[in-house]
């Protein structure tokens, strides 16, 4: 039986953040109810496909999934369980995550999450500085985040992620360090630390795109140093970096996301959700992109290299029947010479410098075959 | 067409300053005489090339034969010869004029007499043409026909009181122009029984007919089977077909006799054999001497052209060969650059000619080109007495072997309204111009005379002139020989390595300034790479300017989850694609457009 990761998309939020380019928008109660109805129908429509798969992780993302009522979430999970075969992980339940934002969570909702099997929470904090939160267009303060976090712990959640963000307007190295320390002090099992990306089509692009910088977004060099700081500071608190932007205490790496980088098959359900099934990648109801062997190999490399452990040569051979050196030897050697890649045992991985300019390294693996 | 009465033929051209409406008037004349129905009528009938229509300029001479029925019922044959308007093609203009007996001078009713109006009139008068003025664009609100007529009489000194006042655009008063052509332009002379003497004013290559020679029969008769001799090139051939020009097509006829304009095809393979300005005669019964004025045209401006994709080198060669079939003034020979690989050093009549060839290669032959900075031909006098004509800066001998160098000089006439005289004089000064005098042609307008080095005007002089005079200045030049000059080779070093394709020859006095600007420009063009890249300008071993491209510090995608992969992959692919368009020089990747950046140094 093949392994499958399930992603459920909830495209609603209270108010769109200024930097957000995800498929998400505020909506009325009625719209949300109709969406949940449709979603459940869609989940059930996969009965046939589900027969060949065993679900290994579930991730409910958004938007702000915690905006839904407890009852609605319960119905979604009922549909999942009645349609898919759910596996186990180390003899226990599989990793089941829901994203939430401060200010949308109640005790009642958290109790319901526990009851339906959700065992991991991902909370969007972004910054511990209220001024910075405001600049991002977030709806909450740091204090409101704390309330939600403690509430989650009280509800018994033992696996919590906190999202943080660097290179945001008004931020300094010092204020970022404070955010890191404050978050780490709380002792979440996992921290994601992204640097802000200015995406086209967002209000931030209007404000900061194409070199505009009215609110002092940290410069490239400061941003790079913030990446360094993240690694150093979080290490002090016992977090190790296992991917470019992801840190965890031992054993709490996000299994769902690791799946993306290891090319596990995934089924995304909900508006705009992406899937990878049988080497076809598609957005719900869209035309699939069929991945050739060359595409698959290139993806294996550029996704796998996001992980700090790098890519396994042995697994490459198992998957594609060719030696990695035979296909990518030239690029790997070139990047090694430039000090951007290194080999450790069976693995090829990014060096510190390679991480800083990983796009340059990864683009080397595209179109080389 | 045998026995066409010479008195019923009119051979003429239209001359004008650029944009005064030459091609539009030609269109109207063709339309009025019913040669084309208006459905067939396309703007600027005589400008065949897509590029000519687009730029609104005439590159190749064109001719058309029109039948005009006068009011008295007589039928006249008009041969209208359209001439290239740009100074780059001056020689071709002069040959086209030599094929005519008269010229229509088009003057814009608002702009009045301009530099090229004068230059063209003098050219026409040199060829003994009767000049018939026409005032165009009288439909414009700013039109001042009375003032312009006075100007024509005062400045040019030709009678203009009864000049037709027309609007070529709307077709107003075109009938009057035709009437005056019959009255004012003389009928051709010549004896149909004399030995053949025909002037070549253009030639084109046709893949079916071979070389088609455009000519004016001055004396004698030519028909199918006539053995012909090109008097300058010495090429011989037998005539296969003669005929005249319909609009956009060749119409064969029995024979061409003295006074007529038409075409000849013969067993000729190469346009090189049929040089513009050469005289065709009967090989068995030659005329005494060729028609005057033939001169071999030589390229003035050189640059390197390289295929962006090295594998396209043979395609570039084929394309250049094809273009040369139609353009005897295009020169090219293979050269190799360390930075750019295999390519060609190409010679052109001027910068416009260069641009046109470049655009045609890119458009008609679908080639992506890297062009190096254009340069002129320098004369290098070596200490051992040898003289080198230098077209590629890389070939400059070691300074120790050079006695002195000379550069080509032009005599320039710049017409400008008085308020901009100061600005234009500054410009000429910056470009090492030697002031030779100024005359006011009327209260508010003057002609400035300058001697300028050609290499100072081939880049962007024209643009600078226009921008500093808000478009009002016009400019014309002619070659005025070579003069000794203190010239140096400016080299560009990228990451301490000399990039041959970026070297150029410059006057010692401006080397520092040019070097500095060049480094600044390259800093903008070269993207950050893994390491810091010094960009230096050097004369000999002396570094005169330096900039640094900082190393790439951070380039990383923060997030890449299931829904991001397709988009991120496209981003990485784009990055990869960008790298492909770069040239690897040593360890450094240089974008192709950086090689052209030297062209845009003056953006004042």
What's the pLDDT tens digit per position in A35-47? 999 999 999 999 9
Domain A2-260 belongs to what architecture? Alpha-Beta Barrel (3.20)
Is the bond preceding A63 in cis, omega lying within 30 degrees of 0?
A: yes
DSSP state for residue A88 in the 8-state scheme: -
Highest-scoring range by mean pLDDT, A6-15, B269-278, B328-337, B367-376: A6-15
Partners of A164 in beta bridges: A126, A193
Cα–chain-centroid distance for residue B259? Answer: 29
The dihedrals phi and psi of A312, each to the nearest 5 degrees, come to -90, 130
User: How many percent of chain A have pLDDT more than 90?
Assistant: 87
The dihedrals phi and psi of B280, each to the nearest 5 degrees, come to -95, 135
Buried b (16+ CB within 10 A) or exposed e, B35-67: bbeeeeeeebbbbebebbeebebbbbbbbbbbe
Identify whether the C-beta of residue B278 lies closer than 8 Å to the C-beta of residue B290.
Answer: yes
User: Average pLDDT in the A327-352 region?
Assistant: 95
Contacts 24+ apart (CB under 8 A), B424-429: B424/B448, B424/B465, B424/B468, B424/B469, B424/B473, B426/B468, B427/B461, B427/B464, B427/B465, B427/B468, B428/B452
- The mean-pLDDT minimum among A296-300, B87-91, B536-540, B547-551 falls in B87-91
Closest-CA distance, B555 to chain A, in angstroms, reads: 4
Which chain A positions have a beta carbon within 8 Å of B579's beta carbon?
Answer: 363
A194:B558 CB<8 A: yes
> B183: how many CB neighbours lie within 10 A of its CB?
11
pTM, rounded to two decimals: 0.68
Which chain B positions have a beta carbon within 8 Å of A367's beta carbon?
Answer: 573, 576
User: What tokens appear for A12 in the block?
Assistant: 């609603």
Cα–chain-centroid distance for residue A162? Answer: 11
CB of B573 within 8 Å of a chain A CB? The answer is yes
Which chain B positions have a beta carbon within 8 Å of A358's beta carbon?
Answer: 555-557
Assess whether pLDDT exceeds 60 at residue B522.
yes
Buried b (16+ CB within 10 A) or exposed e, B545-555: bebebeebbbb
A358:B572 CB<8 A: no
B560:A303 CB<8 A: yes
| Separation in Å, CA A14 to CA A24, A68, A100, A121 | 10, 11, 12, 19
Q: How far apart are CA A28 and CA A34, in angstroms?
A: 10
Identify whether the C-beta of residue A6 lies closer than 8 Å to the C-beta of residue A267.
Answer: yes
Q: How far apart are CA B419 and CA A83, in angstroms?
A: 85
Closest-CA distance, B557 to chain A, in angstroms, reads: 7
Give the side-chain half-sphere CA count within 13 A for B467. Answer: 9
**pLDDT confidence bin for B52, thresholds 50/70/90:** low
A273:B559 CB<8 A: no
Tell me the angle at which helices A313-320 and A324-337 cross, rounded to the nearest 10 degrees.
150
Identify whether the C-beta of residue B201 lies closer than 8 Å to the C-beta of residue B188.
Answer: no
B559:A362 CB<8 A: no
Pairing of strands A246-248, B75-82: unpaired
Closest-CA distance, B525 to chain A, in angstroms, reads: 17
DSSP state for residue A1 in the 8-state scheme: -
Same fold: A2-260 with A294-369 = no
DSSP state for residue B397 in the 8-state scheme: P
- CATH for A294-369 is 1.10.10.920
A223:B554 CB<8 A: yes
CB of B575 within 8 Å of a chain A CB? The answer is yes
Q: Which residues contact B55 (CB under 8 A, 6 or more apart)?
A: none
More confident residue, B36 or B139: B139
Which chain A positions have a beta carbon within 8 Å of B527's beta carbon?
Answer: none
Q: How far apart are CA B587 and CA B529, in angstroms?
A: 10
The candidate with the shortest Cα–Cα distance to B388, out of B372, B375, B403, is B403
Sign of CA dihedral A253, A254, A258, A264: positive
- The mean-pLDDT minimum among A198-202, B8-12, B297-301 falls in B297-301
- List the single residue in A with minimal CA-CA distance to B557: A359
Partners of B307 in beta bridges: B369
- The mean-pLDDT minimum among A25-34, A221-230, B297-306 falls in B297-306
Query: What DSSP line would sit under B189-221, residue for residue?
Result: ---TTSPPEEEEEEEEEETTTEEEEEEEEEESE
Identify whether the C-beta of residue B460 lies closer than 8 Å to the C-beta of residue B600.
Answer: yes
Q: How far apart are CA B133 and CA B159, in angstroms?
A: 8
**pLDDT confidence bin for A257, thresholds 50/70/90:** very high
- List the single residue in B with minimal CA-CA distance to A290: B566
CB of B560 within 8 Å of a chain A CB? The answer is yes
Identify whether the C-beta of residue A273 lies closer than 8 Å to the C-beta of residue B563.
Answer: yes
Given the structure tokens 């008769």, which residue do they identify? B221
Q: How far apart are CA B189 and CA B323, in angstroms?
A: 36
More confident residue, A368 or B119: B119
**pLDDT confidence bin for B593, thresholds 50/70/90:** confident
Identify whether the C-beta of residue B594 lies closer than 8 Å to the C-beta of residue B522.
Answer: yes
Q: How far apart are CA B232 and CA B526, in angstroms?
A: 50
CB of B571 within 8 Å of a chain A CB? The answer is yes
CB of B551 within 8 Å of a chain A CB? The answer is no
**pLDDT confidence bin for B600, thresholds 50/70/90:** low
- The mean-pLDDT minimum among B98-102, B211-215, B352-356, B459-463 falls in B459-463
- List the single residue in A with minimal CA-CA distance to B529: A360
- List the single residue in B with minimal CA-CA distance to A340: B530
Given the structure tokens 């009625």, which residue do they identify? A30
- Reduce the secondary structure of A197-246 to three states and give it as a string: CCCCCCHHHHHHHHHCCCCCCCCHHHHHHHHHHHHHHHHHCCCEEEECCE
The candidate with the shortest Cα–Cα distance to B597, out of B499, B508, B531, B465, is B499
Q: How far apart are CA B356 and CA B67, in angstroms?
A: 33
pLDDT on residue B274: 84
pLDDT on residue B566: 87
User: What tokens appear for B409 in the block?
Assistant: 């000089």
CB of B426 within 8 Å of a chain A CB? The answer is no
The candidate with the shortest Cα–Cα distance to A191, out of A141, A130, A235, is A235
User: Average pLDDT in the A94-110 region?
Assistant: 95
B556:A197 CB<8 A: no
A359:B571 CB<8 A: yes
B566:A281 CB<8 A: yes
Assess whether pLDDT exceeds 60 at residue B51.
no
Closest-CA distance, B574 to chain A, in angstroms, reads: 9
Closest-CA distance, A92 to chain B, in angstroms, reads: 25
The string of pLDDT tens digits covering residues A1-60 is: 899 999 999 999 999 999 998 889 999 999 999 999 999 999 999 999 999 999 999 999
Which chain A positions have a beta carbon within 8 Å of B560's beta carbon?
Answer: 260-261, 303, 306
Domain ranges of chain A: 2-260, 294-369
Assess whether pLDDT exceeds 80 at residue B56.
no
Closest-CA distance, A3 to chain B, in angstroms, reads: 15
């Amino acid at each position: 039986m093949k392994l499958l990761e399930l992603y459920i998309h909830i495209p609603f939020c209270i108010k769109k953040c200024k930097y957000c380019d995800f498929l998400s928008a505020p909506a009325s109660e009625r719209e949300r109810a109709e969406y949940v109805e449709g979603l459940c129908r869609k989940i059930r429509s996969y009965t046939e496909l589900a027969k060949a798969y065993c679900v290994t992780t579930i991730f409910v993302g958004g938007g702000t999934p915690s905006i839904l009522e407890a009852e609605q979430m319960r119905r979604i999970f009922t549909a999942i369980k009645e349609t898919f075969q759910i596996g186990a992980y180390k003899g226990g339940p599989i990793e089941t995550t829901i994203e939430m934002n401060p200010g949308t969570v109640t005790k009642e909702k958290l109790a319901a999450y526990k009851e339906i099997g959700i065992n991991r929470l991902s909370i969007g904090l972004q910054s511990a500085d209220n001024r910075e939160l405001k600049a991002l267009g977030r709806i909450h303060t740091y204090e409101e985040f704390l309330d939600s976090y403690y509430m989650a712990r009280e509800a018994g959640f033992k696996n919590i992620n906190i999202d943080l963000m660097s290179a945001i307007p008004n931020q300094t190295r010092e204020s970022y360090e404070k955010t890191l320390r404050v978050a780490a002090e709380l002792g979440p099992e996992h921290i994601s630390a992204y640097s802000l990306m200015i995406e086209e089509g967002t209000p931030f692009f209007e404000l900061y795109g194409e070199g505009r910088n009215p609110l002092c977004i940290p410069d490239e060099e400061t941003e790079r140093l913030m990446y360094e700081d993240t690694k150093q500071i979080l290490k002090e608190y016992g977090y190790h970096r296992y991917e470019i932007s992801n840190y965890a205490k031992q054993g709490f790496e996000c299994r769902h996301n690791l799946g993306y980088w290891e090319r596990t098959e995934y089924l995304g359900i909900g508006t705009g959700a992406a899937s990878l099934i049988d080497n076809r990648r598609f957005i719900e109801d869209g035309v699939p992109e069929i991945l050739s062997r060359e595409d698959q190999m290139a993806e294996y490399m550029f996704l796998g290299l996001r992980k700090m452990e790098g890519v396994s040569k042995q697994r490459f051979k198992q998957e594609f029947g060719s030696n990695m050196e035979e296909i990518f030897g030239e690029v790997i050697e070139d990047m090694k010479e430039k000090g951007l890649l290194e080999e450790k045992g069976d693995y090829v991985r990014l060096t510190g410098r390679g991480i800083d300019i990983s796009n340059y390294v990864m683009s080397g693996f595209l179109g080389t075959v | 067409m045998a026995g066409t009465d010479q008195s019923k033929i009119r051979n003429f051209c239209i001359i004008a300053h650029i944009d005064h409406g030459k091609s539009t008037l030609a269109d109207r004349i063709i339309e009025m005489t019913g040669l084309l129905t208006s459905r067939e009528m396309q703007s600027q009938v005589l400008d065949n090339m897509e590029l000519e229509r687009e730029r609104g300029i005439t590159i190749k001479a064109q001719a058309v034969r029109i039948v005009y029925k006068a009011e008295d019922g007589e039928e006249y044959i008009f041969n209208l010869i359209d001439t290239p308007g740009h100074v780059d093609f001056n020689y071709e203009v002069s040959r086209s004029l030599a094929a005519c007996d008269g010229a229509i001078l088009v003057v814009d009713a608002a702009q009045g007499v301009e530099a090229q109006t004068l230059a063209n009139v003098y050219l026409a008068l040199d060829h003994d043409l009767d000049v018939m003025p026409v005032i165009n664009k009288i439909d414009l609100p700013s039109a001042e026909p009375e003032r312009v007529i006075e100007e024509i009489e005062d400045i040019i000194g030709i009678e203009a009181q009864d000049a037709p006042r027309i609007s070529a655009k709307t077709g107003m008063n075109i009938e009057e122009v035709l009437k005056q052509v019959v009255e004012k332009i003389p009928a051709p002379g010549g004896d149909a029984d004399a030995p053949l003497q025909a002037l070549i004013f253009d030639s084109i290559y046709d893949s079916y007919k071979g070389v088609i020679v455009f000519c004016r029969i001055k004396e004698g008769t030519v028909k199918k089977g006539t053995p012909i001799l090109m008097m300058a090139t010495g090429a011989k051939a037998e005539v296969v077909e003669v005929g005249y020009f319909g609009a956009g097509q060749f119409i064969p006829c029995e024979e061409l006799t003295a006074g007529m304009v038409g075409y000849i095809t013969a067993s000729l393979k190469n346009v090189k054999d049929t040089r513009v300005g050469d005289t065709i005669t009967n090989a068995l019964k030659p005329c005494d001497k060729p028609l005057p004025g033939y001169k071999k045209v030589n390229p003035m401006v050189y640059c390197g052209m390289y295929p962006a994709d090295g594998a396209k080198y043979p395609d570039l060669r084929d394309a250049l060969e094809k273009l040369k079939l139609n353009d005897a003034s295009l020169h090219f020979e293979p050269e190799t650059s360390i930075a750019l690989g295999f390519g060609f050093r190409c010679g052109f009549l001027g910068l416009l000619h260069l641009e046109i060839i470049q655009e045609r290669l890119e458009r008609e032959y679908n080639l992506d080109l890297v062009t190096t900075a254009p340069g002129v031909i320098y004369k290098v006098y070596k200490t051992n007495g040898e003289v080198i004509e230098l077209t590629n800066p890389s070939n400059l001998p070691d300074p120790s072997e050079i006695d002195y160098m000379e550069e080509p000089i032009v005599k320039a006439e710049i017409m400008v309204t008085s308020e901009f005289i100061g600005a234009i004089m500054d410009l000429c000064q910056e470009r090492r111009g030697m002031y030779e005098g100024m005359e006011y042609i009327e209260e508010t307008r003057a002609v400035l005379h300058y001697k300028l080095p050609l290499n100072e005007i081939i880049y962007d002089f024209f643009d600078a002139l226009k921008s500093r005079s808000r478009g009002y200045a016009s400019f014309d030049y002619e070659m005025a020989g070579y003069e000794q000059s203190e010239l140096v080779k400016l080299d560009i070093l990228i990451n301490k390595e000399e990039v041959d394709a970026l070297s150029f020859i410059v006057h010692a006095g401006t080397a520092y300034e040019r070097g500095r600007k060049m480094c600044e420009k390259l800093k903008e063009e070269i993207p950050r790479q893994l390491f810091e890249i010094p960009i230096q300008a050097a004369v000999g071993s002396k570094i005169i300017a330096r900039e640094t491209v900082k190393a790439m510090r951070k380039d990383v995608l923060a997030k890449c989850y299931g829904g991001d992969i397709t988009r991120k992959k496209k981003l990485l692919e784009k990055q990869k694609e960008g790298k492909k368009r770069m040239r690897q020089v040593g360890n450094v990747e240089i974008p192709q457009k950086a090689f052209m950046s030297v062209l845009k140094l003056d953006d004042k």
